[in-house]
Amino acid sequence: MTDTSLPVVRMLPKGNALAIRHGFPWVYANELVLDRRTKKLPAGSLAVLQDAERKPLGVVAFNANSKITCRMLDRSPDAVIDGAWFDGKLKAALAHRETLFDAPFYRLVHAEADGLPGVIIDRFGDVAVVQPNTAWADRLIEALLHALMRVTGVSTVIVNGTGRTRALEGLDDRTEVARGAAPAGPIAVPMNGAVYMADVLGGQKTGLFYDQRPNHAFAARLSKGARVLDVFSHVGGFGLATLAGGATSALAVDGSADALALAEQGAGQMGVADRFATRKGDAFSVLEDLAKDKELFDVVICDPPAFAPSKKALEAGLRAYERVARLAAPLVKPGGYLGLCSCSHAADLTKFRNASARGIGRARRRGQIVHTGFAGPDHPLMPHLAESGYLKALFFRL
């Protein structure tokens, strides 16, 4: 049986229907019959996907404006995408996070891996921030928000509809407090013994990056009694974690005065303000200046933004990662540690590792990799979708 109330979209014979049957969640425009009828479907419409032989594959979200034209929502062609359906997805996601964490501070929904394509939900206690990065989520946002409040019991929901992904879907930017009252200020988030201040309305993305949690914890293990440099620090990510782990001092470097002010607030909440310092400036320039001043640190960590957000940007991005490693390595004491991170899905682990090693070598340093880290388990990886495994963290002992 197929839900006859939904329109049907069909794959071309050259389309990889077998991959869809095996779990791949996307169908590209060049795999579909895009006739006049299907092109008229509003962006974000639900449809039943068929293979070239008209056998149903499931219910998809359709957007003719996107290269990813179909996103699989449910493998059953009879699925009804309604409040109860959202409840089921969110309950499954919540059960996993409650298994992992004692406190409600985590990524609740990680897009395709949690069965909600293009939807990101980060939870900050009684506040949830939703990123509807796809047209279907925009169309069904009310049903999603109702279910979110039912399942989690949060009282405030912020919709943060900004970013590159929405633009690729043909969507406008919008940010609003969709349910409840806006927080009075930044939210204090406990993580790895540190306290981070999340600006859920005006900060980057949802206000805090939960994905680095396990890598923060590893860095903290290296940092007892250490002098630490945290470059591209944002709201104090690695720096505050290392102070919680016993570092004697941490210097946070970032281009955003607002982010550094939040980092200072976090240090104050932790009672480590006397061991924490910030420096605003271009990260590359600051690294060069620190080298001129012959500064040395026991632990140096660089967690830059995505230098390679797409395949077109890959080569330039890899050169940037190599440059970070080249400039950071001379600042590490012999026997000290260098942590290098990439959140670029276009740069896979091997390419990133090679670029990092080249940079360390160009700095005339040698190192051994002592740890390779990824995003935490509240950012599950969909095995069929390499893009969902974007974060890499390499720790070298130099």
- What are the residue numbers of the active site? 343
The DSSP call for residue 353 is H
Q: CA 157 to CA 230: how far, in whole Å?
A: 32
Q: Would you list the DSSP string of 121-170?
A: EEEETTEEEEEE-SHHHHHTHHHHHHHHHHHH--SEEEEEE-SHHHHHTT
Q: CA 337 to CA 322: how far, in whole Å?
A: 17
With a CB cutoff of 8 Å and minimum separation 6, the contacts of 261 are none
With a CB cutoff of 8 Å and minimum separation 6, the contacts of 66 are 29, 43, 135, 168, 169, 170
Token digits for 153?
């019991």
- Rg (alpha carbons) of the chain, rounded to whole number: 23
Which segments of 223-310 does DSSP mark as H helices, in order?
Answer: 237-244, 257-270, 283-292
Q: CA 321 to CA 337: how far, in whole Å?
A: 17
- How big, in percent rounded to 5, are the helix, strand and coil portions of the chain? 35, 30, 35
8 A C-beta contact, residue 62 and residue 9: yes
Q: CA 141 to CA 83: how far, in whole Å?
A: 11
Quickly count helices (H) and strands (E) in the chain.
Answer: 12, 19
